[in-house]
Amino acid sequence: MLTKRIIPCLDIKNGRTVKGINFLDLRDAGDPVELAQRYAGAGADELVFLDISATEERRKTLADLVYHVAEKVNIPFTVGGGISSVEDVDILLHNGADKVSINSAAVKNPRLINDLVAKFGSQCIVVAIDAKMIHGEWKVHLVGGKVPTELDLFKWAKEVESRGAGEILFTSMDHDGTKNGFANDALARLSTELNIPIIASGGAGNSHHFVETFIKGKADAALAASVFHFKEIEINDLKKELRANGIPVRL
Partner 1 sequence: MNIVIINYGAGNIQSIKFAIERLGYQAILSDNEQDISTADKVIFPGVGEAGSAMAKLRSSGLEKLVPQLRQPVLGICLGMQLMCHSSEEGKTQGLGIFDTEVVKFPNRVKVPQIGWNQIENLKSPLFQGIPEKEHIYLVHSFYAPICKETIAESEYGLRYSAALGKDNFFGVQFHPEKSSAVGSQILRNFLEM
Catalytic sites, residue numbers:
11, 130
Please count the residues of this chain forming the interface with partner 1, following the rule CB under 8 A: 37
Binds partner 1 (CB under 8 A): choice among 112, 124, 186, 222 = 124
- CB nearer to partner 1: pick between 45 and 174: 45
- CB nearer to partner 1: pick between 47 and 112: 47
C-alpha span between 128 and 148 (Å, rounded): 15
Strand 5-13 relative to strand 47-51: parallel, antiparallel, unpaired? parallel
Which span sits near partner 1 by CB under 8 A: 93-101, 127-135, 202-210, 232-240? 93-101
Residue 250 binds partner 1 (CB under 8 A): yes
Residue 65 binds partner 1 (CB under 8 A): no
Residue 154 binds partner 1 (CB under 8 A): no
- By CB under 8 A, name the binding residues for partner 1: 1-5, 40, 45-46, 67, 70-72, 74-76, 93-99, 118-124, 166-167, 195-197, 220-221, 250
